[in-house]
Amino acid sequence: MNRIDQKFIELKKAKKAGFIPYVTAGDPDPKTSERIILALANAGADVIEVGIPFSDPLADGPIIQAAMQRALEAGMTVGKTLSLIAHVRAQTQTPIVLFSYLNPILKYGMKRFANDAAAAGADGVLALDMPPEESAEYVRIMKKHGLSTVFLVAPTSTDARVRRIARLSSGFIYCVSRTGVTGLTKGKFDEVERTVARIREHSAAPVAVGFGVSHRDDVRQIGRLADAVVVGSAIVRTAAEHRDDPVPHIQRFVKGLIHEKK
């Protein structure tokens, strides 16, 4: 069984929402990036999203855009990202989802990418700008290699698109909390409950909510509505603010988000 599926079964039995942090591979450098990913696993992450650096990340806000630029300047590539995943996988069984734009996957070669990602120990792929209407071959290739295919549902998605995404998705469905790009907000999640309910009308798959989640209250609020909560920009910002040694600061921040205060 795919590690993502197993994790959500465990979370359901425990009656708790999962925590899914996002980081950019190679930010601020490959060795530190590996330490950060392992620190997230040790801090209690249920699934980890690892972003493949790309020069034109249009759906991401300035914090993750800057992280991708730092990673590219550090020499990170698709191949090096997959090598990083292999190193991490040798040290943890925490499920890993590769977060990518379509261009790097196509340039690397879709079949080669699926094969190498699976061999490295990745469990799923979220191709951010993959149109569901054009994704049949992509889904077939990824699933052939045992990789879950995660798709995004936005508040503006039509019912027809939600139904299509429900058919194509595996692992979990990523619910975008609001319109716009990734980044920090002040806890405005008015559309989340409605969007999650629309997804559940068409799919029994777990639903993870992300975009703009940055505070403990956000995590608790969304955790009552969805099966998992995704936090990205706030973690990436913490790494950028403590570039000399971001690991202890990230661990402290993540534990503060997900563990009850005593």
User: In this predicted structure, what is the pLDDT of residue 207?
Assistant: 98
User: In this predicted structure, what is the pLDDT of residue 73?
Assistant: 96
What pTM, to 2 d.p., does this model score?
Answer: 0.93
R_g over Cα of the chain:
17
CATH code of 3-11+19-258, in short, is 3.20.20.70
Rounded CA-CA distance 93/233 in Å is 24
What is the phi-psi region of residue 135: left when phi exceeds 0, alpha when psi lies from -120 to 50, beta otherwise? Answer: alpha
Nearest CA to 38 out of 254, 261, 232 is that of 254
Residue 60 annotated among the catalytic residues of the structure: yes
Digit-by-digit pLDDT tens for the chain (262 residues) are: 899 999 999 999 999 999 999 999 999 999 999 999 999 999 999 999 999 999 998 878 899 999 999 999 999 999 999 999 999 999 999 999 999 999 999 999 999 999 999 999 999 999 999 999 999 999 999 999 999 999 999 999 999 999 999 999 999 999 998 654 444 455 456 688 999 999 999 999 999 999 878 788 888 989 999 999 999 999 999 999 998 899 999 999 999 888 654 3
User: In this predicted structure, what is the pLDDT of residue 17?
Assistant: 95
User: In this predicted structure, what is the pLDDT of residue 244?
Assistant: 86
Residue 230 pairs in a beta bridge with 20
Burial of 248 (0-12, 13-18, 19+ CB in 10 A): exposed
Residue 49 annotated among the catalytic residues of the structure: yes
Of 60, 116, 123, 227, which is the active-site residue? 60
Q: Are 248 and 232 in contact (CB under 8 A)?
A: no
The ranges assigned to domains in the chain are 3-11+19-258
Rounded CA-CA distance 239/32 in Å is 10
User: In this predicted structure, what is the pLDDT of residue 183?
Assistant: 43
Of 5, 27, 34, 49, which is the active-site residue? 49
Question: Residues with Cβ < 8 Å from 9, sequence gap 6 or more?
Answer: none
Question: Residues with Cβ < 8 Å from 233, sequence gap 6 or more?
Answer: 61, 63, 64, 182, 183, 184, 212, 214
Rounded CA-CA distance 78/25 in Å is 9
Structure tokens at 208: 């993870």
230's enclosing H/E stretch is: strand 228-231
